[in-house]
Structure 1
Amino acid sequence: MDDHAAFLQRVEALRAGVDRRLAELAPAVGSAPDRLVEAVRYSLLAPGKRFRPMVTLLAAAELGAPEGAALDVACAFEMIHAASLILDDLPSMDDAGLRRGLPTIHRAFDEATAILAGVGLLNQAYVVIAADQGLPASLRAELAGRAAQAVGFSGLIAGQARDLFDREQLRDPAALERLNHEKTGVLIVAAAQGGALVAGASPAVVEAMGVFARHIGLAFQIRDDLIDAQGSVEAAGKDVGKDAAMATVASTLGLAGAGQAMEAHLAKASGALALAGCDGLLGRYVGELFARRKAAA
């Protein structure tokens, strides 16, 4: 087996491990009202890249954590991500019809069930971190606090509020960057730093991982802007063209300028990864992921 095939096999094995553990951690049939359990599992277990948990796992592995030590923490970040998608897609928010190639949860079930599923998943993520007996209690408390902060009033909640109420005023690139960091980057930062913390990394390495994740989050959001502007529903697996009337990096800088901004963020992310000593597996994983997204554009 060549090096590239071995790398892809390892990545796929990690992703499959996340999927298996998510299925175990999701509420089981009979543990809550059947419709709610079905909706949660429909959203959480839908096929996806599992980017946030993969960042956690690869960061932990490269920094010397025992195999599997970060798995539950990684799954908790995926639960938060899934919850954020449910809430973002609601009729009162983005009113989306497709997510990951499937009808959004409020369309597959109903709006009330979607809200309950999203809030339930957020809380379950904290339960998963708190119950991880393989980690010291002090570390579990820190990880839960970082996860909660990523969701709250300086994270996903704030970003969604800006997206709903301030988007028409966001013509300044710095303001757009703040919005994109809150909507996308903060959770990736928590995931990357979470992996480093599980591995017992130094404060300097944890900080470098945060810089990496911030720039990767911004690059991802720009890529999403470009997909919304140029992509198809079939390729994206979700609605496109919904940001046409809004200020985005793509509309503010133009398509070429947005592409250049994305590349600049990727370069800064790569530099931070090298500083953290995580530019092996993790750097390769991120590079492959963006290369595939560019090829599909």
Structure 2
Amino acid sequence: MDDAAFFNGLEQTRGLVERRLVQLLPPDGQAPAGLIGAARYAVLAPGKRFRPMLAILVARDFGAIDGSAIDAACAFEMVHTASLILDDLPSMDDASLRRGVATTHRAFNEANAILAAVALLNRAFGVIADDAGLTDAIKVELMARLSECVGFRGLVAGQARDLDRRGKTLSNDEIDLLNHQKTGVLLVAPAQAGALIAGADGTRLAAIGEFARRLGLAFQIRDDILDAEGTASEGKDLGKDAGMPTLVTSLGLAGARQAMQGYLDAARDALAEARCGDHAWRYASALFGPRKVAA
């Protein structure tokens, strides 16, 4: 498939995700209006939809029926959005801009933002539980992985580490652990979800997890580079990591770019071990290359 056809197909898939997210959320105007409005505002703001796209494309790479992974994919996007809402709060990063618009707590107040994040986390589990296209065994496995990626070894732990790092010096290994828990876990889980839905197991499932782990480390370095030298067109507050230990502060911009490329190379090697198609790789690598997937 040539690049034009591939990228057109990506946009069509992203459109399916957008429409399904609307269907899975409570309707606009439903009470309580502040809570529902905040949840819809946060989820439906323009975004890359990296996590759901990864789940769908991995499922496709492993031969799943088209559409079989879309609800699970949307569940991971709800979790990602909840994490962004919480990350932006005054007690966390105190951000004012996300995805090109005011952060949820600025637009709807802090209480509604917190409640919307909790509601989205819960809704994600419900979406998987209600998916009639999945077997009970797959539902249980996906919910277990969803729980793991949120909890004490996942996003929550990563956020706690992020708050604790301020004013401290961390080793590169400690920075990698923080980056994995803040970012990587929510790439590993949807990637492996897509593979599980397609029937992958054993070494191929482990390989796709390693692909996503390495990709997550590269993606966080990319985010740190953008934080250091990006522009307002990125759609979020910049300079939030100034003075905090990242691979950019540890290695410098050139060293961080080299580390990012190393993780991308390792991700590609892991994907080769998974013995599947290359849709996920073509999509993910476009986020780092000269042709960026639309934000």
Q: TM-score range by the shorter chain?
A: over 0.9
* 1:182 corresponding residue in structure 2: 181
Q: Deviations over 1:94-135 (max 9, x none)?
A: 000000000000001100000000111000000001111110
Does the 8 Å CA contact 2:221/2:248 hold for their aligned counterparts? Answer: yes
Q: Displacement of 1:282 after TM fit?
A: 1.3
Aligned length in residues: 294
Amino acid at match of 2:132: Q
* 2:106 corresponding residue in structure 1: 107
Task: Provide the rounded CA distance (Å) in 1 between the counterparts of 2:26 and 2:212.
Answer: 30
Matches within 5 A, 1:91-240: 91-233=90-232, 235-240=233-238
TM-score of the aligned structures, taking structure 1 as reference length: 0.96
**Greater alpha carbon shift after TM alignment, 275-284 vs 60-69:** 275-284
Q: Which runs of 4+ in 1 moved over 6 A?
A: 293-296
Task: Provide the rounded CA distance (Å) in 1 between the counterparts of 2:37 and 2:62.
Answer: 37
Does the 8 Å CA contact 2:62/2:277 hold for their aligned counterparts? Answer: no
* 1:208 counterpart SS class: helix
Gaps of 5+ in 1: none
Does the 8 Å CA contact 1:270/1:279 hold for their aligned counterparts? Answer: no
Amino acid at match of 2:199: G
Matches within 5 A, 1:36-115: 36-115=35-114
Task: Provide the rounded CA distance (Å) in 1 between the counterparts of 2:75 and 2:264.
Answer: 26
Identical aligned pairs, as a percentage? 56
Task: Provide the rounded CA distance (Å) in 1 between the counterparts of 2:31 and 2:148.
Answer: 27
Output the aligned Cα RMSD. 1.6
Amino acid at match of 2:289: A
Task: Provide the rounded CA distance (Å) in 2 between the counterparts of 1:30 and 1:135.
Answer: 31
Amino acid at match of 2:278: G
Task: Provide the rounded CA distance (Å) in 2 between the counterparts of 1:103 and 1:135.
Answer: 37
Q: Displacement of 1:31 after TM fit?
A: 4.4
Q: Displacement of 1:12 after TM fit?
A: 0.6
Task: Provide the rounded CA distance (Å) in 1 between the counterparts of 2:29 and 2:234.
Answer: 34
Q: Deviations over 1:146-202 (max 9, x none)?
A: 001100000000000011123433420000000000000001000100000000012
Amino acid at match of 1:139: I
TM-score of the aligned structures, taking structure 2 as reference length: 0.96
Matches within 5 A, 1:258-297: 258-292=256-290
Does the 8 Å CA contact 2:287/2:293 hold for their aligned counterparts? Answer: no
**Greater alpha carbon shift after TM alignment, 203-212 vs 24-33:** 24-33
Pair 1:295–1:276, CA change in 2 (3 A):
closer
Matched, 1:244 2:242: yes
Pair 1:4–1:293, CA change in 2 (3 A):
closer
